[in-house]
Structure 1
Amino acid sequence: MARYVVLSKFSARGRADAKTRLTESSLEREVTGAKGRILDRFVLLGEWDVCAVVDLPGNAAAQLMRTGHLGRGEVDRLILPAIDMQLFERLLKQTTRTTGPHRWQVSAPARAARRAARPLLVSPYRRKYFRPFTVLGRENLDGFDGPAVFIGNHSSHYDMFAFIEALPSRFRDRIFFGSAADRWYIRGRRNPMKQGWWRSLFLGCFPVKRAGGGASLEYPKWLIAGGNSIGIFPEGTRTRNGRLSKFRPGAALLAQETGAPIVPMHFEGLFKMLSPGRLEGQPGPVTVRIGKPIAIPTGLPRLEAARLMRDAVADLSGDPER
C-alpha cells in the first residue's frame, strides 16, 4: 500500500451540510471502494476544508479518487504522495556525487569473485522467478567469442539477471553492464549492497551518467579494448507499457568506434513479472532470444543506427506491431 495526503475543498452545497464537512462520508466510500483505508483526518481553516492521510493500493487508485467525484459539484480534491519524515531528511542530506568506474573489476580476482557469487546473487532469480526459463538462439554465437555490444529490451529490474543467465558461459565473466550513476553509484550509502563498488565487483556494472554525451563511452571503450563485452539496454529506461520504446544511439556509436558487433537480444515475460512500480516479482515463464551478431557501418548516421538496433530486437520479439 502507498500512502497519500488527500486535501478536500467543498462547494457551497457541500459546505452547507456541517455533518458532511466533519465526516466526509464520500471520502470514506471512495477510499473503501479503492480497497484502501483512512489513517487520520483533520478539519482545516483556510483554502482546504479537510486533510486526510490514506493508504491506497497505488497511483491508479489515487487517480480514480482524484477524478471519480468530478461532475457532482460537491468537492474538489488534491492528492499528494506522502513520505516518511526520516526518509525525507535522509534524502535531503544525500549527496549527488557518484563513484566509479572501478577499473579493478576486470582483474582476475574480481572475475573469480563474480563467478563465485553468481550462484548466490544471480542464479536464484532464475530458479525462483523464471519458471520455466527458455533460451533460443545460442547457436547464433557459435564460433564467436567477442568482444561484442549485447543489446536488449528493458522491462524490469530482473532483466540483467536473465541477460547473464542466457549467455554462454564464456561471456559471463567478461561482460559489463552500464548502470545509471545517479541511481546506483551515489557516494556515502551505508548498505554495502547499495554501494557502487559492490555492483562493480559482484554484478559487473559500471556507472553511466544520463546525458553524459561522448564521455560516457570512454570507459566501455576501454573495456572492449581489453577484450570484454558490454551489455546495454538502449531504451535508457524501463518500458512503462511493455512495448518496445525508442532506442538511443549510444550502443551503436560504441560499436562503430570500437568495431565490435551488436548482438540483439529480446526478453519476454519480465514486464509481466516485475513491471515498474511493483516491489516483488511474480514467478512466470521467461524466454530469451539471441540474434546473430550485426556489424554497424562506420558512416551510418546516428538515428539510422539506432533504428537498425531497434529493428533487430523487434524482429526477435515477433511482434507485428513492433
Structure 2
Amino acid sequence: MRDIVYPPVVGLAKTAFKVLDLKFQMSGTEHIPRSGGAVIALNHISYVDFVIGGFGAQPSKRLVRFMAKEVLFRNRYSGPLMRGMHHIPVDRGAGAGSYREAIRYLGEGEIVGVFPEATISRSFELKEFKSGAVRMAAEAGVPVIPMILWGTQRMLTKDHPKDFSRHQRVSITVGEPMSVSQEDDAVKATEALRTTMAGMLDRTIRAYHEQPAGAWWLPASYGGGAPTPAEAERLDAEELRARAAKRKK
C-alpha cells in the first residue's frame, strides 16, 4: 500500500511528543510483527488513542490502519488525513462494508487497529467488547494482539477539559498474540480477549507512576474519582438520548 501522507504525519506526531516531553513507558512492543497481517485490539479511554496506539507499533516499523467513525472521514480537516493514511471508515448503520475492507487489508498484510469497546470508556475500565476484532482475525487467518493504553485520558477525553501540558506520562502495554480460528466460538474468544486485556490494564495501572486518591482520571475501583462502570453506562445512555433529540430537531 502506497503511503504518502502517513509517514509525514508520524513525523509530526513524534515532534509533538518531543515538544510536550511525553514520557512513554512501553512494554511488549516486540509482540507486534514486523511483517504480515494482524489485528491490534486496544482499550479506548481518550480521543488521542489513535495517535498513541499507532506509536506503539513504531518499534516494529509498522503503520496501523484504524477502524474509525465514518464522520471523521467527512470532516473537512480530518477527512483528507484519514483517507490519506488509509484508515477504514465505519458506518454503524452499514458495518458489513467496513468489515470486508478490514479483511482485505489484513489479507494484504496490513495491521488493522480496532477498539472492541467501540466508544470511549468514561470509567476508564473496560466496557463490554464487540466481537468484530476476533471475527475478522479468524476469517483473515491472522493473530489478535492486545494493547493497553494508559495516561491518554489525562490529555483529552469525554467530560473533561483538554490538558496538553508538558511532561505527562503515557503507558503502552502490548500482550502476546492470540490465535483464533473460524472454528472457535467468537463470543468465547472475545471474552478471553477481554479477560486478557483486563489483566493487562490492571498491571499497567498499578505500574503507573502515581495513583492519587480521588483523581478524576483514576477508576473508582482503584480509589479514583472516575464514574463507576454503572454510572458511566448511565452517562452514555444520556448522551445517546441527547444526540437522538438533537437529530430530531
TM-score, structure 1 normalization: 0.58
Residue in 2 that maps onto 1:149: 39
1:1-322, aligned counterparts within 5 Å? Answer: 106-107=1-2, 111-120=3-12, 122-129=13-20, 131-141=22-32, 145-173=35-63, 175-181=64-70, 183-186=71-74, 189=75, 191=76, 193-195=77-79, 197-201=80-84, 203-283=85-165, 284-318=168-202
Higher strand proportion, which one? 1
Matched residues in 1 for 2:146 and 2:16: separation?
A: 22
Identity %: 22
Q: Against the structure 1 CA distance between its residues 153 and 128, is the aligned structure 2 distance closer, same or farther, given a 3 Å change threshold?
A: farther
Matched residues in 2 for 1:194 and 1:162: separation?
A: 17
- How far apart are 1:145 and its partner, in Å? 2.5
Q: Against the structure 1 CA distance between its residues 135 and 272, is the aligned structure 2 distance closer, same or farther, given a 3 Å change threshold?
A: same
Letter aligned with residue 69 of structure 2: A
Matched residues in 1 for 2:159 and 2:18: separation?
A: 23
RMSD: 2.4
Q: 2:35·2:109 contact (CA, 8 Å) conserved in 1?
A: no
TM-score, structure 2 normalization: 0.73
Q: 1:178·1:208 contact (CA, 8 Å) conserved in 2?
A: yes
Matched residues in 1 for 2:21 and 2:122: separation?
A: 21
- How far apart are 1:166 and its partner, in Å? 1.6
Greater relative CO, 1 or 2 (CA 8 Å, sep 6+): 2
Matched residues in 1 for 2:6 and 2:155: separation?
A: 25
Residue in 2 that maps onto 1:69: none
Larger Rg: 1
Deviation per CA, 1:121-177: give whole Å up to 9, x if none: x22443355731111112334x6523100111001111111112121344433x201
Matched residues in 1 for 2:60 and 2:173: separation?
A: 18
- How far apart are 1:286 and its partner, in Å? 0.5
Matched residues in 1 for 2:25 and 2:153: separation?
A: 16
- How far apart are 1:242 and its partner, in Å? 1.1
Matched residues in 2 for 1:185 and 1:263: separation?
A: 26
**Count, aligned residues:** 204
Q: 1:153·1:265 contact (CA, 8 Å) conserved in 2?
A: yes
Q: 1:179·1:206 contact (CA, 8 Å) conserved in 2?
A: yes
Matched residues in 2 for 1:130 and 1:314: separation?
A: 29
